[in-house]
Amino acid sequence: MRVPVSWVREHADLPESATSEDLAARLTALGLKLEALERPAEAITGPLVVGRVLTMEPEPQKNGKTINWCTVDVGDANGTGEPQGIVCGAHNFAPGDLVVVILPGGVLPGNFAISARKTYGHVSAGMICSGAELGLSAESDGIVVLPADAGEPGQEAFGVLGLDDDVIELEINPDRAYALSVRGVARDAALAYDVDFRDPCDRDVPPADDAGWPVRIEDPSGCPVFAARLVSGLDPTATTPEFVARRLAQAGMRPISLPVDVTNYVMLETGRPIHGYDADKLTGTVGVRRANAGETLTTLDGTRRTLSTEDLVVVDDSGLIGLGGVMGGEDTEMSGTTTRVLVESAHWDPVSMFRTGRRHKITSEAGKRNERGVDPTICEAAADRVVELLVAYGGATAEPGVTVVGTPPPREPVTMAADLPARVSGIEIPARRTVQTLRDQGFVVEEQGPDVVATPPQWRPDVTDPFDLVEEVVRVVGYDAVPSVLPTPGAGRGLTRSQRLRRRVGRTLAGAGAVEVVSFPFVGDASLDALGLDADDDRRRTIRLANPLSAQEPAYTTTLLPGLLRAAARNLGRGATGVTLFETGSVVRGGSSPTPILGVESRPSELELKELLAGVPDQPLHLGLVVAGERERAGWWGAGTSPDGWAGWADAIALVRRLGDELGVPLTTRAAVLAPWHPGRCAEVLAGTGESAVVLGHAGELHPRVCDAHDLPRRSAAVEIDLDALLALAPERVVGPELSSFPMAKEDVALVVDVSVTAAEVEAALREGAGELLESVRLFDVYTGAQVPDGKKSLAFALRFRAPDRTLTEAETGAARDAAVALAAERCGAVQR
């Protein structure tokens, strides 16, 4: 809402000394938030005065232009009283005209300082100003020629031009619809300064009679009040008075024609949207009803609309003539030839307005007010004000007869404990202050014992609850008065286990050189195709958005990899030689099911709540990780990890296994085939062993086609696991080890097995075979080549033995080693080299 300060002052007796800034600050403190303060005079420094052109001599110049050498009477403003000599390039004026002159020493917008200067053979002492030069219009259409009665030469011109009128732009919240009017803003301004308010709707209105235009309301709940007035003899050539045009422009509305401008002016002034019909285009009784299914109406924006049975329509004997409260019909629109105007000032049901506006995607100044709630008691006053202006400026005659159908529904009183504002705000507010504050705002207040019974004024449809009254009291007492007191909750339980574990996950991965990223969780077919997912892959079972940001990514993501791979490629594209990135985020796989819309009067039943919570799809937290380019940098120490032959897959697995170790969940791997990984270099990541092993996710090298599709170097690697599942396995309490300080015995064995036998199988056999004395087993070499037969490989393991209570003998360790090798031979066909 943009309001000129002069208009506010017309209705609130603000002190002369109140600045626009102060007014804006006080309105903001009351809940009408300052969005912008426009000060058109700010960019201009005087002297800026009215001048009368005395003489003008056209002087053609060599460059083809003709300039005018003028003398201008600027009164005593130049200190001498002598005419001022000024060169002017414009031609849209004549001697005797009143113009706007800026004298030397003045500054125009753009920091354009004016001085007496020599030009075209004269000393030009000032400038005759155009609208553009004064910042009043975007384009210059010559200098400003003032009306003959605008002022006297030498008079200060700021006021004459309206440059001294600041415009305050306020952000109006939905509960303060009353402030979508000068009436409402001025009322709060008066409240802020504790001065008198003059209500523009407080006027003598002729009483309703039966002589007015016939109106029939078939849906009084949708349209409780309908007032109508008729004017005739309107002069179609009458122009909008300057003050109306200026204020509309200040409010951000475009002047159109006198009758349209007047209805808009009254809407801004009172908050009540008004519609004017060309009465000569109306037939018979005007009615209001709900539309019939399939009815159509062409609204005055030229759009043909098919209506819903919930839409309120205005009709006459010929059919539909308007979408009530939202937009008029094209057939009965006022035009340049309109001489008779039927003024409609009606009150509409806000919910119906909101739904109709949304259904037909119409946002209008009228709709904005009607859907938030307008004072239903000012229909007659607003109509009368329109009639007054059309008579005064359009030469029209007010026809006798005043139609008013319906009465405003009464306001329900709200009962509140008198000390509630004090209890809720923490400010000491005596009951009498509460009562007075509400009365100052137009509430009718009765004190009943410990309670205050307040009937809200009709312009406050939002106030229905005791806590609404509290806000109205506290905003006047002042939010600044709220003291600052820390509450004292009891002992808290701290972070949950999952929250603490997630911090460990991040620190562990960052400690291992991975950088966390945050991506948008949206996905589309193209990104899933780029991962090479099969048509029936679970990760294609997305939940789609009805209104996605981008048609390419219309669904909530099922995997963190698209965002990670994109971020990795972006880093490499920006010059990084290698990155390790990770992200944790929720994913959703599979479809969704309905959730109920429950009541809000009380808590849902346990059954309802269960159904509600069960309907929300599972959104497990995933961990994704990508390793691309150098993981270890090249440098003076030697080569880094190069894309060729580099075991990125191992780095990826190492990172996730390190995470498992950190969380106390040893992770193992098993060969698997799954997109987007390389089919020969993909591991299932498992927690636990044997039958009870749980697959947490996958890790390994990305398929070469996936690397190519994402502009990543071949052999880039990735991980994605269900982090919630991993965290659930982390032991609550780790049991401390008993450390033996007896000497360790080492035994290395090299075992030849078929290439198809995995290191993990051999290791498991060694571990089991070696028995209790084994402390650790670690594979330290893999060899294929001349020393072993084709189709075989040699795996070298270091076995370490230690007893808790004694130094082992050679015989003991030898026996344990032999048992280990024997089991490996039995299980895996291993032959010791």
Partner 1 sequence: MSGPNSDFDPVEVAVLQPEAVDAAREAALAAIEAAGDPEELKAVRTAHAGDRSPLALANREIGALPPQARKEAGQRVGKARGAVEQALGRRAAVLEAEHEERMLAVETVDVTLPTDRHPAGARHPLTTGAELIADVFVAMGWEVAEGPVIEAEWLNFDALNLGPDHPARTMQDTFWTEPASDHLVLRTQTSPVQARTMLTRTPPIYVVSPGRVFRTDEYDATHSPVFHQVEGLAIDRGISMAHLKGTLDHFATAMFGEGITTRFRPSYFPFTEPSAEVDLVCFVCRGTGTDPERDGTVTCRTCKGEGWIEWGGCGVVNPRVLRACGVDDTEFTGFAFGMGIDRSLMFRHGIADMRDLFEGDVRFATTFGSEL
User: Taking CB under 8 A as the criterion, which residues in 629-658 touch partner 1?
Assistant: 632-633, 635-637, 640
Q: How many CB atoms lie within 10 A of CB 616?
A: 10
User: Taking CB under 8 A as the criterion, which residues in 694-733 touch partner 1?
Assistant: none
Q: Which is nearer to partner 1, 514 or 799 (CB)?
A: 514
Shortest distance, CB of residue 373 to partner 1, whole angstroms?
9
Q: Which is nearer to partner 1, 450 or 489 (CB)?
A: 489
Q: How many CB atoms lie within 10 A of CB 54?
A: 14
Q: Which is nearer to partner 1, 127 or 470 (CB)?
A: 470
Our CA dihedral for 90, 95, 100, 104, rounded to 10 degrees, sits at 80
CA distances from 127 to 45, 98, 100, 106 (A): 13, 14, 8, 10
Candidates 490, 645, 736, 737: give the one binding partner 1 (CB under 8 A): 490
Q: Which stretch binds partner 1 (CB under 8 A): 24-32, 83-91, 281-289, 375-383?
A: 24-32
Shortest distance, CB of residue 667 to partner 1, whole angstroms?
20
CB 586 within 8 A of CB 620: yes
Q: Which is nearer to partner 1, 355 or 433 (CB)?
A: 355
Candidates 90, 300, 501, 515: give the one binding partner 1 (CB under 8 A): 515
Shortest distance, CB of residue 459 to partner 1, whole angstroms?
16
Shortest distance, CB of residue 587 to partner 1, whole angstroms?
10
For residue 476, the one-letter residue type is V
Shortest distance, CB of residue 407 to partner 1, whole angstroms?
24
Q: At CA 762, angle to CA 662 and CA 655, rounded to 5?
A: 25
CB 201 within 8 A of CB 381: yes
User: Taking CB under 8 A as the criterion, which residues in 367-386 touch partner 1?
Assistant: 371-372
CA distances from 14 to 160, 178, 745 (A): 21, 20, 96
Q: How many CB atoms lie within 10 A of CB 195?
A: 13
Which residue in the block uniquely carries the two structure tokens 């006198």?
Answer: 258
- Pairing outcome for strands 451-455 and 414-417: antiparallel
- Residue 219 backbone dihedrals phi, psi, to 5 degrees: -130, 80
CA 479, 485, 489, 494 torsion-angle sign: positive
Q: At CA 706, angle to CA 704 and CA 711, rounded to 5?
A: 95
Q: Which is nearer to partner 1, 616 or 759 (CB)?
A: 616
- Determine, following the binding rule CB under 8 A, whether residue 257 of this chain makes contact with partner 1: no
- Determine, following the binding rule CB under 8 A, whether residue 513 of this chain makes contact with partner 1: yes
CA distances from 135 to 42, 90, 131, 132, 492 (A): 10, 17, 6, 5, 61
Q: Which is nearer to partner 1, 80 or 636 (CB)?
A: 636
Q: Which stretch binds partner 1 (CB under 8 A): 6-14, 441-449, 484-492, 709-717?
A: 484-492
The one-character DSSP state at 143 is: B
Q: Per DSSP, which regions of 186-318 are E strands? A: 215-217, 225-232, 275-278, 286-290, 296-298, 304-306, 312-316
Q: Which stretch binds partner 1 (CB under 8 A): 93-101, 154-162, 400-408, 502-510?
A: 502-510
Candidates 294, 302, 494, 785: give the one binding partner 1 (CB under 8 A): 494
Per-residue binding string, partner 1, 335-354, x by CB under 8 A, is ----------------x--x
CB 833 within 8 A of CB 778: no
The one-character DSSP state at 413 is: P
- Determine, following the binding rule CB under 8 A, whether residue 424 of this chain makes contact with partner 1: yes
Candidates 149, 210, 480, 805: give the one binding partner 1 (CB under 8 A): 480
Candidates 52, 176, 229, 539: give the one binding partner 1 (CB under 8 A): 176
Shortest distance, CB of residue 598 to partner 1, whole angstroms?
5
The one-character DSSP state at 603 is: P
Q: Which is nearer to partner 1, 272 or 475 (CB)?
A: 475
- Determine, following the binding rule CB under 8 A, whether residue 273 of this chain makes contact with partner 1: no
Q: Which stretch binds partner 1 (CB under 8 A): 42-50, 265-273, 403-411, 544-552?
A: 544-552
Candidates 39, 355, 433, 767: give the one binding partner 1 (CB under 8 A): 355
Shortest distance, CB of residue 218 to partner 1, whole angstroms?
22
Candidates 148, 211, 545, 755: give the one binding partner 1 (CB under 8 A): 545
Candidates 543, 788, 798, 825: give the one binding partner 1 (CB under 8 A): 543
> What stretch of H or E contains 526?
helix 525-530
Per-residue binding string, partner 1, 130-169, x by CB under 8 A, is ----------------------------------------
- Determine, following the binding rule CB under 8 A, whether residue 33 of this chain makes contact with partner 1: yes
Candidates 60, 147, 489, 737: give the one binding partner 1 (CB under 8 A): 489
Q: Which is nearer to partner 1, 28 or 758 (CB)?
A: 28
733's CB contacts (< 8 A; 6+ apart) are none
Residue 147's closest CA among 242, 235, 46, 54? 242
Shortest distance, CB of residue 201 to partner 1, whole angstroms?
24
- Pairing outcome for strands 286-290 and 215-217: parallel
User: Taking CB under 8 A as the criterion, which residues in 450-469 touch partner 1?
Assistant: 465-468
- Determine, following the binding rule CB under 8 A, whether residue 531 of this chain makes contact with partner 1: no
DSSP string computed for 685-698: EEES-GGG-EEEEE
Count of residues touching partner 1 (by CB under 8 A): 111
Candidates 117, 497, 544, 778: give the one binding partner 1 (CB under 8 A): 544
Per-residue tokens: 376: 């239903």
Rounded CA separation 14/7 (Å): 11
User: Taking CB under 8 A as the criterion, which residues in 602-621 touch partner 1?
Assistant: 602-604, 609, 612-613, 615-617, 619
Q: Which stretch binds partner 1 (CB under 8 A): 29-37, 196-204, 212-220, 809-817?
A: 29-37
The one-character DSSP state at 468 is: H
Angle at which helix 20-29 crosses helix 182-193, to 10 degrees, equals: 90
Rounded CA separation 822/458 (Å): 95
User: Taking CB under 8 A as the criterion, which residues in 548-607 touch partner 1?
Assistant: 548-549, 556, 563-564, 566-568, 570-571, 574, 576, 578-581, 586, 588, 592-604
Per-residue tokens: 304: 């043909």
The one-character DSSP state at 93 is: -
Helix (H, G, I), strand (E, B), or coil: what is residue 717?
Answer: strand
Shortest distance, CB of residue 318 to partner 1, whole angstroms?
32
Q: Which stretch binds partner 1 (CB under 8 A): 124-132, 503-511, 727-735, 757-765?
A: 503-511
Candidates 212, 222, 521, 769: give the one binding partner 1 (CB under 8 A): 521
Shortest distance, CB of residue 84 to partner 1, whole angstroms?
34
Per-residue tokens: 714: 């071949």
Residue 352's closest CA among 406, 294, 312? 312
Q: Which is nearer to partner 1, 439 or 610 (CB)?
A: 610
CA 540, 546, 552, 557 torsion-angle sign: negative
Candidates 520, 664, 680, 689: give the one binding partner 1 (CB under 8 A): 520
Q: Which is nearer to partner 1, 385 or 622 (CB)?
A: 622
Shortest distance, CB of residue 113 to partner 1, whole angstroms?
19
Residue 229's closest CA among 208, 202, 244? 208
Candidates 15, 483, 690, 731: give the one binding partner 1 (CB under 8 A): 483
